[in-house]
Structure 1
Amino acid sequence: LGYKFMHLTNTVMRLSVHYFFLSDKVILIKENKTWEDALYYCRDHYHDLVTITSLDEQKRVEQEARFASTDYVWMGLHYACTLDLWFWVNDKVVRYKNWASGEPEDNCDMSGAMEKGGEHRWKKMTDLNVFNFLCSKP
């Protein structure tokens, strides 16, 4: 019993440290801003709007998003009308996707927001909406 407890404790401690390390790279800003204002805020005060390129990153970001005071949070996903594609503000290609079903057609004034709860699906939102947002830290 002593060994099993110690092993479980060590596992929990490692998981806690791992979670702290990952969550330390993302911060929720509980201010309501348009997508563009959120982008500039993150770049001025932290690093950038958050980028999600894997399920692991999605799960990490969900942990912060659930504390938002708005139903959605901005992330660094934007639609380039002239190129007809979605891209991350750090120039990473959008490979991992978590779009909600029934999303509207792409529009020139759209950016990506994540639901703060539920399945944390991504939504196409008009840039002028104001939401809390998630910044990445260097």
Structure 2
Amino acid sequence: MELPAEVTGQYLGMGGHRYAPRGRVLLVGDAAGLVDPLTGEGIHSALVSGQAAAAAILGAPYAMAEGYAHHLRPLQEVLAFSDRASRSFYREPARGFKVMRWPLLRNLVLKTYADGVGKTKLLATLARWAS
């Protein structure tokens, strides 16, 4: 068996924090662009968006798009935050990796992703640390 001359991959579906469901088609996971722009992780978003779509369909089939948008909003807020963080991190990766070497910031960033610490709590912690 010959190996292909060129191996390529598919782009990750991003930008889902701006996705607005319309009509009777509800996109979930990568199809809706719900991949985390900072980490590239998408399984969590796929599961959450699938559950949100199911809840919208079961809750109000005549208004699926509106129901789905409502259920999807918390995930989209997290992805919007992650989008801003990724722009900052990837604009100057050396600075981002340097920051990740500081135990307080590394733990805070990891806790934000692992436990879903809200941006208000994150900013309050950073403000306390800076003063």
Larger Rg: 2
Structure 2 length normalisation: TM-score? Answer: 0.23
Q: Whose relative contact order is higher, 1 or 2, with alpha carbons under 8 Å and at least 6 apart?
A: 1
- Answer 1 or 2: which has greater helix percent: 2
Tell me the TM-score normalized by structure 1.
0.23
